[in-house]
Structure 1
């Protein structure tokens, strides 16, 4: 590459990828549709990558290098796009999250990373991955803090969070850590762009039993869904997957406590379960 590896911030590397794609494509006299025909990706997918509206996958970067005869150029640029302190399986998701104008989260197991305190993150990480070096744990904490910065931006996203009540009752890190974490949730829920609801344990069956998921919405393109699994995560972009996720979220909203009652439940838990 002709630019220094530390010269551009992450978001700029995404734009750089798109600009290089356009330059290389036009230098070979190809239209977007012609380039699409040389790959297994649609015209719209490649158009979104070229306009920096979508994070390219490793597979797409390989196909672009093959189709355009650029060696491993796009694969190397993509490494810079994804160079951040997140696990490999979350890197693309982290970039998508930062670009969203609206975020809808359903979490069935733990407090979402966007709202975790440092102590909660440390406790969760150390229990989930007990062999992780301390330095790596610090990196995880830093990564989640960086993600949370998006919420503080003036043009930050609207965030709707639905939590299973079990998330609040699982004392990760002990009573003090959990009390501080719930207080953090209460503070976040007071912000005008954040809505928090709880699905009570009294609801035996609901649309979130299949697992946690997040829907990212954008002003200039279709939604993206992220499904969270065991030591893994996956992005979904097919229309049928997005429609299913939106329906599931609507159904969860219908059975969850309203925001006021949700906050009352959290306050009760702080007082009755985690007071020291």
Structure 2
């Protein structure tokens, strides 16, 4: 059986922390299960920490320093890693997204962050925070656009999105902003950088009526499911729970339009918005 994939500690603070955790655990002669037992977590969870797909929480850092006799190393670095440009409820998911090899997402209300234009992102952030200072909105928008740079790589991650038709019809920021945002999505589709399907209103009830869903796959760690509601989110790694969410996504894709028909619909709606701006 092949050993774990070598980590690149320079890729992110979490990768650095994970590489050191693996080194210190192996130096102590412990398996992932043996280290996880006194932490009341599974061996696979320790593997996720080592792979950098999960953020180390302070309660685990304290115990790990004690078990591995690392003189407060993990506590110090865990504290430093807590500083994030993303909201607290979303930071761990954003960091996992950055190292995922594949992302599958169902968006029921808005164009996903990885596909947003600056004007669209600004309209969304301003709607979320109607009284926030301009500099706060600017910082949030900048962080969101930086997330989208993962798509600068020609093939990784694979991004497959199912957009509810409501995403196309919800006039976020006005007709001009919507036209630009949808053209941006179609450009990425035509460049074969993303796969997009539209779940039409005619599909009726579907498997994810409760809200948004994101599945993130990794080269050397189990798939994570990310569920998000207003100012709160949750990462799921329980295999049975993740499998259920994967089935949900498969059902959404089966109910959605084909990629070709989806592209045609998105372009048609973009044209409608563009024509609204013409005298």
- The answer to whether the 8 Å contact 2:17/2:77 transfers is yes
The answer to whether the aligner puts 1:251 opposite 2:251 as a matched pair is yes
Greater mean alpha carbon deviation, residues 163-172 or residues 66-75: 66-75
Q: Which runs of structure 2 are paired with 1:1-276 in the superposition (5 Å)?
A: 11-22=11-22, 24-25=24-25, 30-68=30-68, 73-275=73-275, 276=277
- 1:106 is displaced (CA, Å) by 0.2
Q: TM-score, normalised by structure 1?
A: 0.88
Number of equivalent positions: 269
Aligned pair in 2 of structure 1 residues 123, 241: CA closer, same or farther (>3 Å)? same
Structure 1: segments with no counterpart, 5+ residues = 1-8
Please say which of residues 205-214 and 148-157 is displaced more in the overlay. Answer: 148-157
The gaps in structure 2 that reach 5 residues or longer are: 1-8
Q: Does the 8 A contact of 2:159 with 2:193 survive in 1?
A: yes
Deviates more, 1:236-245 or 1:52-61: 52-61
Quote how far apart the aligned CAs of 1:26 are: 5.9
Deviations 1:155-182 (CA, angstroms, capped at 9, x unpaired): 5211111000011111111111111111
Q: Distance in 2 between matches of 1:230 and 1:265?
A: 29
TM-score by length of 2: 0.87
Q: Which moved more, 1:47-56 or 1:125-134?
A: 47-56
- Are the equivalent residues in 1 in contact too, given 2:182–2:266 (CA < 8 A)? yes
Q: Secondary structure at the match of 1:20?
A: helix
Counterpart of 2:6 in structure 1 is none
Measured in 1, the distance between the counterparts of 2:34 and 2:57 equals 20
Q: Residue 11 and residue 90 in structure 1: after superposition, are their counterparts in 2 closer, same or farther (change >3 A)?
A: farther
| SS of equivalent to 1:104 | strand
163-172 or 134-143, which deviates more: 134-143
Deviates more, 1:48-57 or 1:154-163: 48-57
Bigger drift between 37-46 and 166-175 goes to: 37-46
User: Once superposed, what is the RMSD of the aligned Cα atoms?
Assistant: 2.4
The answer on whether the counterparts of 1:82 and 1:92 sit within 8 Å (CA) in structure 2 is no
